[in-house]
Structures are given as structure tokens and as C-alpha cells.
Amino acid sequence: EKGGYPSFMAKEIHDQPRAIADTLLGRTDAAGHLVLDEMKLDESELRSIDKIVVISCGTSAYAGQVAKYAVEHWCRIPVEVEYAHEFRYRDPVVNQRTLVVAISQSGETMDTIMAVRHAREQGARVLAICNTHGSTIPRESDAALYTHAGPEIAVASTKAFLAQITACYLLGLYLAQIRGNKYADEIADVLQQLHEVPAKVQEVLDGLEQVRALARSMADTRSVLFLGRHVGYPVAMEGALKLKELAYIHAEGFAAGELKHGPIALIEPGQPVFVVVPSPRGRDSLHAKIVSNIQEIRARGARTIVIAEDGDTDVEPYADTVLRVPQTSTLLSPLLTIVPLQVFACELATAKGLDVDQPRNLAKSVTVE
């Protein structure tokens, strides 16, 4: 049932192009408009929302953080992303005009269930983005948008993450479509690019030997840092989480701009640092800033492992290793840049002789608060 792969996790990483394609499938009509009827939320209701609050935990929370950049850009609706367990136990400001989006692979995470109940008690509309039909979270929500990643067996989430990001993009584009704002014109273009992503993920998967060799060579590493900006920031945190949970290595993700406010003190000769670099096209200042971050840490002795787009030569002078991903727009890039980080964690854990499908102390779904 592992399809010839050494672990469920390896199989699920390779299932990712299909997880994205299946999540996109059947959600546009012949005219190219998004149709999300299954959500069963009234269009007029969706037009009147003035805030989105995403509640989730772990990897699903990072999917929400990625979504924030895209949804705010396309819809001009403020998006807050909060851990479900934090949301539940403060006194959050939500009301009938708040759309709460609960993201959960399993649909059974108790922290998220409790937050959904709390949000509904406050009068908010709750939409579940979930991978498991009939599970508690979509049942207790007003509406559900399912990710079609297929069952995820490995404890560490991979394909569900990419499917969650995809579903969040669909939601954002749908809201932009029905609210008819100035970004509505971008919808067709972004949808087209989104449909090209599965083949690009496949391209990343076809060229993994470099990251595998890197992981094997780093089996004795004790600490790894991950830096990113903009959508690369949640990718950096997800890369760090994967390494912690699978390889039991101390790992931390930072916003690259935060470096000089403290974390740069951690840089000492030989410290491995992954840097997730945004596209050099479009948002020029963002790209230039992260290149200068790489320069700064390299000057202090960091071993820099840079994830950059094909054709981005600016990073080369400061990178010990460059892991390449195909070109796409900045907002969609997390669907590509996370893949080498997933593979790195999986391969390094395997090199340490660990069971990647069943990391210690972890359960697939956390059904207690």
C-alpha cells in the first residue's frame, strides 16, 4: 500500500501533484468561473463579511498563514490567522460578519473543534477546510470545502498541506469573484497558473537527488535554521516543524527581516541555514532584501542552503547550495518551495534510522485538548 515507496510519508510526498490537481478538479465552470456550491454559504452572506479568521493547529496553521497573503491581496478582506487553542481561550472579537475558516486535515483535532464551537456561539459563520469527509469539524461547521488529498497515513502532514493551501486559494479567488473587486480580473490568470502547479511540483519531485544527498550528509547536524519572507515565512516555519518532528533536530523558522532584531546572534561558523527566496520577478525589493539577508549570514559563517527559482542567479554568489524550483508567481510559490524541505526532513530522519511514519510522542490526530 506504500506504492513501492519506503514509507507512507515518501509516498504522500510523491502524491502531491495529484492532491493539488484533485483539489482543483471540478471547481470551475465552462466559462472559467469558480463554482463552490458545495460550500452552501449564501453569496450575499459572503459579500457582507468584513473579516476572516483562520483557526487551526500545526501544519494546518501554516497553510492558513500562507493563505493570508493571497486572500488579503485578492479580496482586500483582513485575515487573521490564529492557533485554535489560543483563539479559544482569549476573548476573540468575532460576530455575524466574521467568516471563521477552520483548517484541519483530520477534522478531529480537539483544539480546533473547541474553537469552532466557540466561534459559532459568538455568531460567526464557520467554514471548514478539511480532508476527511464526515469528520467532526465539517459536521459542526456551517459549510465545508473539502481538500481531495486522499487519506493521509504518515503522522507528518505533507500532501494535506498542499491541498489546504490550494483550497484556501480557491476560497480567496471565489470571494474575489463574488465580491467583484478590482482583483477579479486576476482570477482567470491565477487559476490558470494554479492548474500548472501540479506539473511543476512533479518537476521538483523528479530532481530530488541533490536534496537527498544533502540530507544524508547532514545526519549529525544538531541545529538548523530556516528563513523566509512574505509567503516564504510560513514555508520556513513548516520546514522547521518537519525537521523537528521527523528528525528530532532543533530547528527554527524565522521571518528573514527579523534576523537583525535578534536571531542573527545564533549564526556561528558552520550553522546550516535554509533560505526560502521569493521570485526575482515582480516584487523586486522583497527579493533584493532576502539576497542581502543571505549575504549577511554568509559573512558570519553560516552554511547557506538556498531555495530559489530557476534562473535566479543573484543568489549564487552567497549560496553554498542552491535547490531549484520552477518559476511561478510569488503567491503560489509555497506549493513548490516546501517540497524540498519536506524531502530534506524525511531523508535526514531516514538517514538517522528513524521511523518517519511514526515519529516519537506524536499521534496523527490530536483528539484531546
Binding site for ligand F6R (CB under 6 A): 57-60, 104-106, 109, 112, 156-157, 241, 245, 365-366
Q: How far apart are the first and last CA of the chain?
A: 32
Cβ proximity of 272 and 303 under 8 Å: yes
Residue 1's contacts (CB-CB under 8 Å, 6 or more residues apart) are none
Q: What is the dihedral of CA 149, 152, 154, 158, to 10 degrees?
A: 20
Of the CA atoms within 13 Å of residue 300, those in its CB half-sphere come to: 16
242 noted as active-site residue: no
Neighbours of 247 (CB within 10 A): 26
Distance CA 31, CA 105 (A): 31
Q: Residue 144 CB: number of other CB atoms within 10 A?
A: 22
CB-based closest residue to ligand F6R: 58
Positions marked active-site: 364
